[in-house]
Amino acid sequence: MDKLLIKGGVSLQGEIRIAGAKNSALPILASTLLTHETVQVCNLPHLFDITTMIELLGCMGVEPVIDEKLNVEVNSSTIKHFSAPYELVKTMRASILVLGPLLARYGEAEVALPGGCAIGSRPVNLHISALQEMGADIVVEDGYIKASVDGRLKGAHIFMDIVTVTGTENVMMAATLADGVTIIENAAREPEVVDLANCLVKMGAIISGQGSDTLTITGVQELFGCSYSVMPDRIETGTYLIAAAATRGHIKVKDTRPDILEAVLSKLEQAGADIKVGDNWIELNMHGKRPKSVSLRTAPYPAFPTDMQAQFTALNAVADGTGSITETVFENRFMHVHEMNRMGADIAVEGNTVIVKGVDTLKGAPVMATDLRASASLIIAGLVSENETIVDRIYHIDRGYECIEEKLQLLGATIRRVPS
């Protein structure tokens, strides 16, 4: 298993480009199952999770074609099986996103039931109950969600008990081909849900309310091919900005979108960052100063994203003052805290809150990544440490960050991948 070796103490400086958003690319790739025509997906990030989704389409008999610009063309008319096997679902929970499209277009789907993961139990009960309300017959048997429907799904009025991102996406995709109108209340407002909706509309779907908590989808008989470019990754953007703030640096991130990062940019300003934005770029300058502690609470968009909680914990670990961070989306998302304490951080976990007392500097240590965003936070901790940090189990990071060591090297960091 590869490791990352980081020599800390360098202030990040320079410019990098942001990749396409993983969490928007995955549902968009799944949505290609809704039409027999060819969908071209552009600006796909080069990530392990994307490869897994392409492999998943492949094992159903669909043969995505990748061109030299890494655009992917998917024509799902060769599909033979309507199932997502456990071997793939266990490596990527987002495989559940094929459930809605398969059921809506082919009337049947078998998707391995994702288990719990490092950050929480993560059930998919709301995906299942919403599809049942739309007329699907669903049983969970032998570790699989087995779903079928006689004829078309039917439009329904669905209230989501909890805001769920992939749940909203699954139901929205299914509703595009249902008979009648579907209303999803308490829908997720995340920009990636909006990006998927925009792609579906380009394929001929009738959707309104994207970006609000009520989505209205009028089912159509069929969807068509199109070419769609995935939006920039706001979590990747935020991660580099936080790394720059923690290291007292000055960076510019390009090909991104400041308008969907307001909660994060406002916390970075509170931490003392000088921030300038243009249409598609963000510049952060700490003027060499130590960051100030910030307190925050994660919640669904437009509030502060849970996917950026661990990175801010790393920033607070070396900031001036004490900050509290409350996690309200997942029940067990503090695994990184124990690793940071091994590096000399002073962080106490109290229920779903961590109290972070900033220390002058961390000390490098061998640490272990437990999930995707925790890995990013340990890299940030390594960048602000004296001497050397080795981050183990970095396959987590390759799921969601494109060429992370190359991008950090471009910003001046001393980081390299060490094969085991």
**Residues interacting with ligand UD1, by CB under 6 A?**
23, 26, 94, 120, 122-127, 162, 164-167, 192, 306-307, 329-330
Nearer Cβ to ligand UD1 (6/97): 97
Minimum gap (Å) between residue 384 Cβ and ligand UD1:
24
Query: Phi first, then psi: what are they for 337, rounded to 5°?
Result: -60, -45
Nearer to ligand UD1 by Cβ, of 283 and 327: the residue is: 327
Which DSSP string do the residues of 120-155 spell out, in sequence order? B----HHHHHHHHHTT-EEEEETTEEEEE-SSS-B-
Q: Are 46 and 22 in contact (CB under 8 A)?
A: no
Q: Which of 42, 59, 117, 403 is catalytic?
A: 117
Start-to-end CA distance of the chain, whole Å, equals 5
Cβ closer to ligand UD1: 288 or 351?
351
Asked about 117 being catalytic, the answer comes back as yes
239 — phi, psi (to 5°)? -60, -45
Least distance CB 420 / ligand UD1 (angstroms): 27
Phi, psi of 299 (to 5 degrees): -170, 170
- Cβ neighbours, 10 Å, residue 218: 15
Q: Considering the complex, state which of residue 140 and residue 418 has its C-beta at the smaller distance from ligand UD1.
A: 140
Query: Minimum CB separation from ligand UD1 for residue 224, in Å?
Result: 25
- Compute the least distance from the CB of residue 48 to ligand UD1, in Å: 13
Q: With CA atoms as reference, report the closest residue to 101 among 32, 149, 183.
A: 32
**Residue that the structure tokens 């069929």 belong to:** 222
Token pair listed for 171:
């139901």
116 bridge partner residues: none
The 83-84 sheet, strands edge to edge: 83-84, 108-112, 144-148, 137-141
Measured CA to CA, the distance from residue 118 to residue 357 in angstroms comes to 25
Q: Which is nearer to ligand UD1, 293 or 298 (CB)?
A: 298
d(CA 92, CA 398): 12
Phi, psi of 56 (to 5 degrees): -65, -45
Least distance (Å) between residue 328 CB and ligand UD1? 9
CB of 65 to ligand UD1, least distance (A): 24
- Minimum Å gap between C-beta 133 and ligand UD1 is 13
Nearer to ligand UD1, 125 or 212 (CB): 125
Nearest residue to 8 via CA among 383, 409, 301: 383
Contact yes or no for 228/44 (Cβ under 8 A): no
Closer to ligand UD1 by CB, 166 or 182: give it. 166
Torsion angle of C-alpha atoms 364, 360, 325, 118, degrees rounded to 10: 10
Query: Residue 259's CB: how many other CB atoms inside 10 A?
Result: 12
Residue linked to tokens 């001036």: 320
The minimum distance between CB 409 and ligand UD1, in angstroms, equals: 26
**What is the length of the chain?**
420
What would the two tokens of residue 83 be? 């199932």
Structure tokens at 295: 């307190």
Question: Which backbone phi and psi does 194 adopt, to 5 degrees?
Answer: -65, -40
The nearer residue to ligand UD1, 144 or 330, going by C-beta atoms, is 330
Catalytic residue ranges: 117
